[in-house]
Amino acid sequence: MSETRPPIVFGWDATPGILACHLDADGRHIRLYRRVGAETIVEREPFAPFLLVADPAPARDATGVTSLDRLDGAGELAWLATFASWSDALAARDRYREGAGAAAPHLFPGDASHTYLLQTGRTSFGGLRFGDLRRLALDIEVITTEGFEFPNPAREGDRIVAVALADTTGFRHVIRGDRMDERVLLVECGRIIAERDPDVIEGHNIFRFDLEYLEARARRHDVPLTWGRDGSPLRGRPSRLSIAERSVPYRRYELAGRHIVDTWMLALMHDAGTRDLPSLGLKDIARHFGLAAADRTYVDAARISRAFAESPDELMAYAADDAVETLGIGAVFAPPYFAQAQFVPFDYQSTALRGAAAKIDALLLREYLRQRRAVPVPRPPRGVGGGYTAVFQRGVARPVLHVDVTSLYPSLMLTRKIAPESDTLGVFGALLAHLRDVRVEAKRASRTAPTAEERTHLAALQQSFKILINAFYGYLAFGTGHWNDFEAANRVTEEGRAVVGTILDALTAAGATPVEADTDGVYFVPPSTHAREHDEALLETLARTLPEGIALELDGRYAAMLSYKMKTYALLDERGRVTIKGSGFRSRGLEPFQRQLIEALIHLFLVDRGADAQAVIERWLDDFARHRVPIRSFARTETLQESVEHYRAQVAKGRPPSAAYEVAASSGRTWAEGDQISWYVVGRTAGVTVHEYARLASDWNAAHPDENVEFYQSKVRDIWDRFRMFANRPGLHPYTGEEAEPGATQLALF
C-alpha cells in the first residue's frame, strides 16, 4: 500500500509509536507514552489548552490566558484563546457557560488528550500493528449472599473470589479467593497489572460490572487501585453510550498511560449494524466466532457460590476460560478502532466509545485549526426525510437475492457535490474522497499482502474507513456537529429515494418481484427463468438505469426470506444458517420462552415446514400445563434503577405500580439501586393484575410449581396469533397480511 498520508486524514505530525497521552499533574504538560523498540518510554510535552469563542471579551481578562487570536473566515467561533494550564482553561470555560451562556457560543474539547492531538496533528499507534499492543483481559467471579440471585458489592456477604488475567504474550493466571482474603486478592491484582504492564485492559462488560465491583470492594478494604502507568489510581465518572436508538448508562473508567476497552460494548456496536450476534453474552459470542475451546469449562451463573464452596478448581478454570475468550473477542472487534485511532484525533479508548459523527467533527475541527480558520456553530435541528423503506410482500419468499448500492449516500455526496454550506474550506468533501480512496487502496492491498499480519492490518484499516465513510450522511444531521447541514441531508435522502425507486422499477420490468426495500438496497425474488449464472447480466441490466457514479452489487443470495414487517425479517442462507433481524423478533419485552418460540417458528417457515408449526405451539401449551418449563425460561429479569423507597414515594404520587419493585418491596430483603431482580407470575387465569401476582424467581419450587399456567399459555397463543398466517399456506396478498380468497391469484413466491 502507498505510504502517502494526506494530512487532512492522518494529521501532519507522524511521530511514531504513541501509545497513550494524559495530562500531567501540573496541568501544563502532557505525558506521552511511546513504544520505541520493545521499550515503553515516557516523554513530557508542553501543553497549552485552548477555547474557541465567538465573543473575545470574557477571555481577555481570564486567568492564565496566554494568547487571543482572530481566525480567518466567516465561522462564528472566530477567536482562539490559549491558556497556561488546564485549570485556567476550565475556569474560562465555566465563565462562558455560567456567565455569558448561549449569548456567547464557545467550543472546548473537554478532554486533555483530545485537545493535545487536535493541536499537534499527532495520532496514536504510528508504525504499529494491532498485534503490537500489549493487551490484558480481566474477568472477575463473585459470590452472592444466600437468598439473592444477583451480586451487589455493597452487601457484606458478597465478595470477589477470583480475578482471571490473560494477555497477548500467553500469560494466564487466576488470583484465587479460596487461597487469600479479598483484600490480599485486590493487592495482588494491582501487583500483576504493574508487572505485566499492558497497554490495554479488556473485559466483557468491564465498565458496568467488573470495575464497578472492584472499585466498591477496594473502597471497603481501603485498597487503592493504583493501576496507572505512573502509579496513579483508577478513576471513574458517569457516562452514557448512545448506539442507534439505545442509550446505555455506564461508569467510564480511565487509567493514566493505559486504555480500557469493553468488549461487551464493542459487540453492542457491532450488532447495531449487523444484527448477526446470537446475544451479547461472552459465551454465545465466543461460540459464534469459533473461539470457544473444545474443553472449555462452563459453570452456570446460579452455581457460582456453590462451585466456590464445593469445587473451587472448576470455578477457577471457568474464570480463566472467560479471560481467554475475552481476549479472543477483543481481537475480533477491536482492530477497526485501533485503525481509526491511527488517524482520528482521539485516544484509543475514546475512539472505541465515541460515535462516528463525533469523529468526523473532530477531523474537520483539526483541519480548521491547522489552517487557522473560524469554526461555525452547530445549526439548530430540523426534520430530515428518511430513506426509501417499503415492504411489498409479506410472507415467505424463495429464493431471494439482495442488491444494494455500494455506499449509496457517500456516492451521492461525492457525485452531486453535496456538502455543508458552512464548510468554506471544502474539508468535508475532501475528507470523504480521501477516505474512500484510501479504503479502496487498503482493500486492494489486503488481497496481495505477503503476510497474515499485514492482511489483518489492512482489513481493519479498510473496515475503519468504511465505518466513517458511511457516517458522513449522518453527520449532516448531527445535532452537535459544527458543520451540520439539515438541508444538505435532505438532498441526500431525496436523491437516495430516487435511486432506489429506479432499481425497483428496473427489477419489476425485468420480471423480478421486490419483497422489501430499505434505504440503499432491495430484497427480491428473481424472475422464474433466472439462474445463478445470470446474476452478472441482471446486475448489468439494473446498473444501466442508474445515474453515473452509482455502483450496484449483489450483496446476498438466500434460499428463503420471511418478510414480517418493516425492518423485521429473517433470512435462510444456502448453507442452512438463519439470520433474524428486527426488534419485533427480539424485543426486550419478551420472556425468554417467547424468543425461543419465535425462533423455532421462523426456522420452520423458512425450511418449508410450516405444517409443523401448530405442533410446536401445542407442545409449549402442554409443557406449561404439565409444569415442564424451567423457571429461567419464563422469569423476567429487570434492573432496579432507583431505591424501593423512592419507588414507593412515586407510586404514592400516582405512578403506576411495577411488578419488579413490588416483588422487591415484599421480599423482606434489602435491595439497592442497580440490583437485578427476577420474577414470575402466579395465580390463575390469564387476566391477573401482574404486579399483584408477581413473585421472586428464587422462591419458585420445582417440586411445587405455582406459575400461572393460563397466563403463560396466553403468551404462547399471542405468538401463534402473530405468526399463524405464515403456517402451511400457499400465498398471501401483497402486504395485507390477510389470507387469499379462494380462487384468487396467488403470488408464486409464497
The answer to whether the CB of 528 falls within 8 A of the CB of 519 is no
Higher-confidence residue of 3 and 65: namely 65
pLDDT at 514: 95
Regarding beta strands 513-518 and 552-565, do their DSSP bridges make them parallel or antiparallel, or are they unpaired? Answer: unpaired
d(CA 174, CA 716): 44
Mean pLDDT of 571-594: 85
Domain 7-125 has CATH 3.20.20.100: no
Q: Quick check: 190 pLDDT over 50?
A: yes
pLDDT at 729: 58
Classify residue 668 by burial, with Cβ atoms within 10 Å: 0-12, 13-18, 19+: exposed
- Cell triple for 366: 483539526
Mean pLDDT of 650-655: 93
d(CA 572, CA 642): 43
d(CA 51, CA 78): 10
pLDDT at 388: 87
Q: How confident is the model at residue 742 (pLDDT cuts 50, 70, 90)?
A: very low
Residues 326-366: tens digit of each pLDDT: 999 999 999 999 999 999 999 999 999 999 999 999 999 99
d(CA 716, CA 707): 14
The answer to whether the CB of 717 falls within 8 A of the CB of 593 is no
- Cell triple for 96: 462562558
Domain spans, the chain: 7-125, 130-339, 389-581, 583-726
For the chain, how far is it from start to end, CA to CA, in angstroms? 49
Q: How confident is the model at residue 278 (pLDDT cuts 50, 70, 90)?
A: confident
Among the four given CATH numbers 3.40.50.2300, 3.30.420.10, 3.30.930.10, 3.40.50.720, the one describing domain 130-339 = 3.30.420.10
Q: How confident is the model at residue 731 (pLDDT cuts 50, 70, 90)?
A: very low
Q: What percent of the chain has pLDDT over 70?
A: 95
Task: Please name which of 575, 636, 582, 583 lies closest in space to residue 606, comparing C-alpha atoms.
Answer: 575
Mean pLDDT of 372-393: 91
Q: Quick check: 376 pLDDT over 90?
A: yes
The answer to whether the CB of 707 falls within 8 A of the CB of 682 is yes
Say what the pTM is: 0.86
The answer to whether the CB of 178 falls within 8 A of the CB of 312 is yes
- Cell triple for 167: 494477555
pLDDT at 735: 34
Classify residue 248 by burial, with Cβ atoms within 10 Å: 0-12, 13-18, 19+: middle
Q: How confident is the model at residue 749 (pLDDT cuts 50, 70, 90)?
A: very low
Mean pLDDT of 555-564: 91
Q: Mind spelling out the 3-state secondary structure of 94-120?
A: HHHHHHHHHHCCEECCCCHHHHHHHHH
Task: Please name which of 327, 347, 295 lies closest in space to residue 111, comparing C-alpha atoms.
Answer: 347
Q: How confident is the model at residue 741 (pLDDT cuts 50, 70, 90)?
A: very low
- Cell triple for 188: 495482588
pLDDT at 740: 35
Q: DSSP assignment of 521-540, as one string?
A: EEEEEPPTT--GGGHHHHHH
Residues 90-122: tens digit of each pLDDT: 999 998 988 654 557 999 998 999 999 999 999
- Cell triple for 298: 462452563
Alpha carbon separation from 599 to 28, 276, 384 (Å, rounded): 58, 14, 35
Q: Quick check: 3 pLDDT over 70?
A: no
pLDDT at 747: 39
The answer to whether the CB of 141 falls within 8 A of the CB of 315 is yes
Q: Quick check: 743 pLDDT over 50?
A: no
- Cell triple for 656: 403506576
Classify residue 480 by burial, with Cβ atoms within 10 Å: 0-12, 13-18, 19+: exposed
- Cell triple for 37: 523498540
The secondary element (H helix, E strand) that includes residue 496 is helix 486-509
pLDDT at 245: 66
Q: Quick check: 717 pLDDT over 90?
A: yes
**Around Cβ 240, how many Cβ atoms within 10 Å?**
9
pLDDT at 750: 38
Q: How does the average pLDDT of the chain come out, rounded?
A: 90
The answer to whether the CB of 233 falls within 8 A of the CB of 357 is no
Mean pLDDT of 221-236: 97
Residues sharing a CB contact under 8 Å with residue 366, sequence separation 6 or more, in sequence order: 11, 117, 118, 121, 345
Mean pLDDT of 682-695: 95
Mean pLDDT of 495-501: 93
Alpha carbon separation from 224 to 146, 161, 218 (Å, rounded): 29, 18, 7
Q: What percent of the chain has pLDDT over 90?
A: 70
Mean pLDDT of 683-701: 93
Q: Which residues pair with 582 in a beta bridge?
A: none
pLDDT at 736: 36
Residue 746 per-residue DSSP state:
P
Higher-confidence residue of 155 and 351: namely 351
pLDDT at 4: 66
Q: How confident is the model at residue 519 (pLDDT cuts 50, 70, 90)?
A: confident
Q: Is the dihedral of CA 243, 247, 249, 252 positive or negative?
A: positive
- List the single range of 51-65, 242-256, 331-345, 713-727 with lowest mean pLDDT: 242-256
- Domain 583-726 classification at class level: mainly alpha
Task: Please name which of 567, 565, 519 lies closest in space to residue 387, comparing C-alpha atoms.
Answer: 519
The answer to whether the CB of 47 falls within 8 A of the CB of 160 is no
The secondary element (H helix, E strand) that includes residue 333 is helix 312-333
Say which residue the cell 461525492 belongs to.
Answer: 414
Q: Quick check: 313 pLDDT over 60?
A: yes
Q: Which fold has domain 389-581?
A: Palm domain of DNA polymerase (3.90.1600)
Classify residue 657 by burial, with Cβ atoms within 10 Å: 0-12, 13-18, 19+: middle
pLDDT at 182: 97
Residues 618-631: tens digit of each pLDDT: 999 999 999 999 99
Residues 406-431: tens digit of each pLDDT: 889 999 999 999 999 999 999 999 99
Judged by DSSP in three states, 267 sits in helix
